[in-house]
Structure 1
Amino acid sequence: MELEKRKGSSMFQHFEGEEFEKWVKTANHYGRERISFVFMIDFDFKKPFIKKTTEIDPSEMLYNFNGFTNSTMKNNKTNEKIVIKACPIEFEKYKAAFDYVWYNEYLGNSYLTNLTFPNRIELNTSLKEIYYRSCAKYKLWYKDQFVCFSPEIFVRIEEGFISSYPMKGTIDASIENAEELIISNEKEAAEHATIVDLIRNDLSMVSTDVRVEKYRYIDKIVTNQKNLLQVSSKIVGKLRKNYNEKIGEIIATLLPAGSVTGAPKKKTVEIIKEAEKYDRGYYCGICGYFDGQDLDSGVMIRFIENINGEYYYKAGGGITVYSNVESEYEELKNKIYVPIG
């Protein structure tokens, strides 16, 4: 798995350039030397970030990745309710993009496409306050430009094994028989099966003995508005012994994250760009850390960005030929929340 051999391959055409090579080489170097680092990579790999944990300034970046954190200060406004006033994308604009995606799927150009949009919101608090008060596996605040509070694992590397946990399928937990409904829903089942197959294929490029260890299990997420159920699976593969020396290449091979693109990945990214017509930026990228031995990373969903002084909550979901535009639009709106414990 040498970088030189893959530069011309279709998997890497989306990421070619000096920034790509620099990030990969730096991560490989830190991995080889067992140096702890934190990283984040935007969706288009235009601004990949990597720094030794000892070099990160908390006034510019705060992170908490499953307890691996540089933030110790606790919020004092624990009794104040976080209120989000959302102005979602207009239905007509969403439908135009949905129809474009659906038609491409009808033609067989894609089997699953993740369609997202920025939605303007008003907040009664700051992005940093949301960082402290939100409950999520992967939390990141960066220069007051954005805050991310993601429940979704990208990949974990522990004791020579790599695992991924694609998350597809969301339902309001208050709905009667919600768990049964989401598990038995044919559209959701097909979407989940597609993404599991994609991730299994991705992991096969960097590991051996790839297997689905757990299929379509339920997580409950508590939010400031309602409780949600989300469906995930666990896929595992075995890495070679000196994986740490190629840690950058391993991560780069798996990008962009399959759960926020679709299948087939390269063509679907092209469809996404034509349909969305905006720059996702760090939204739908990845973030995480390497501690010198193990790696943990998350997909940067559940994301609020400060754009020219206004706040935008970027959200979306997976579209298949079986999708209903009204239901998908409602799912997008349901994802505009902050998880509060």
Structure 2
Amino acid sequence: MNIENLKEKLNYYGSLKEPFLFIISYDLSNFYVKPLKDLPPQIEFAIDSQTTKSKREEELKKYPIPFAEYKKSFDILQEQIREGNSYLLNLTAKTKIETKLTLDEIYKNAKAKYKLKYFDEFVCFSPEIFIEIKENKIYTYPMKGTIDSSIKNAKKKILENEKEMAEHTMVVDLLRNDLGIVAKNIRVEEFRYLDKINAGKKELLQVSSKISGKLESTWSERVGDILVSLLPAGSVTGTPKRKTVEILKEVETYNRGFYTGVFGVFDGKSLNSAVMIRFIEKENEELYYKSGGGITCDSNAKLEYEELLDKIYLPF
């Protein structure tokens, strides 16, 4: 079974304290785990990198799915919410894009906290941490809620918006429960703080929280069990997680693949990882950008569609 193979491989390198890179797809059916010393040059990554905005600008053409098609999926999710099958669902879509840049050039120019280029297949420049483990403590930083920082009183509007508050609270509650599966002494250390995200020509404000838990000192020997127990990430699925994943599989019109999976590095002592959002994939020599956002009972279809498009950018 793929998941058992994944756990076994991760636990093996963790037990050896061997530094390694891991890349895991959204549904855990595909993964890549490799010691850093054996990593091929076609895979590049950066963790906790500088996010200073560069002066480079590059035109990006978008060919999104029609609003009517998005609305059809949105309405199905609203019906699922009304029936009590889910309270929050992260609806995503793939958008064909055109740029003169190659994936390699996009990777090299992108300014993001977490970056990954996987052969000539995809590039990811994520602002969202999945989990960090250091000094026997595990941390996660759910990110839910975005607004254009140029909007008047943007900070006040996003923090006082009831829909955004409800959505973020549900994700925090979900991830508290997730961490409780693998750790003890779960605490919400910071609730709803703001980060600035460079989104090409725009600057976005993104709402995050910080949650922590305590692990045993032998955690690296079961790093595979920890990661698999927490996947897929709550911020890119919804709540309750299992039922929401089933609904999204029926509603979304494409395969997410590695998008909304995770990647990270174990350096022999600590672990740092990211959720693979802000994601461009090559398919039959064409480029597709995968993006999405959380849907609750208070969501507005038009605004959610606009958010999906706002998240399609090159962070230069």
TM (norm. structure 1) is 0.90
Matched, 1:250 2:232: no
Which of 44, 47, 62 is the equivalent residue of 1:65? 47
Matched, 1:157 2:133: yes
Gaps of at least 5 residues in structure 2 are: none
CA contact (8 A) 1:20 1:48 kept: no
Which of 164, 177, 183 is the equivalent residue of 2:159? 183
Q: Quick one: distance in 2 between partners of 1:254 and 1:329?
A: 28
Matched, 1:134 2:110: yes
CA RMSD of the aligned region, Å? 1.2
User: Could you say which residue in structure 2 is the equivalent of 1:207?
Assistant: 183
User: Could you say which residue in structure 2 is the equivalent of 1:9?
Assistant: none
Which of 97, 110, 114 is the equivalent residue of 2:86? 110
> Offset of 1:137 from its aligned partner?
1.4
> Offset of 1:307 from its aligned partner?
1.0
**% identity of equivalent residues:** 51
CA contact (8 A) 1:284 1:301 kept: yes
User: Could you say which residue in structure 1 is the equivalent of 2:57?
Assistant: 81
Task: Give every structure 1 segment of 4 or more consecutive aligned residues whose post-TM-superposition deviation is greater than 4 Å.
Answer: none
Query: Deviation per CA, 1:62-89, whole angstroms, max 9, x where unpaired?
Result: 1111259xxxxxxxxx765222111111
**Residue aligned with 1:205, SS:** helix
Taking the TM superposition and a 5 Å limit, the aligned residue runs for 1:292-331 are: 292-331=268-307
**Residue aligned with 1:323, SS:** coil
CA contact (8 A) 2:199 2:311 kept: no
Which of 141, 146, 152 is the equivalent residue of 1:170? 146
> Offset of 1:277 from its aligned partner?
2.5
Q: Quick one: distance in 2 between partners of 1:132 and 1:250?
A: 32
Question: Which amino acid in the other structure matches residue 142 of structure 1?
Answer: Y
Matched, 1:90 2:66: yes
Gaps of at least 5 residues in structure 1 are: 1-17, 69-77
Q: Quick one: distance in 2 between partners of 1:145 and 1:256?
A: 21
> Offset of 1:19 from its aligned partner?
1.7
Which of 49, 53, 57 is the equivalent residue of 2:36? 53
User: Could you say which residue in structure 2 is the equivalent of 1:266?
Assistant: 242
Q: Quick one: distance in 2 between partners of 1:232 and 1:81?
A: 28
Matched, 1:339 2:311: no
**Residue aligned with 2:182, SS:** coil
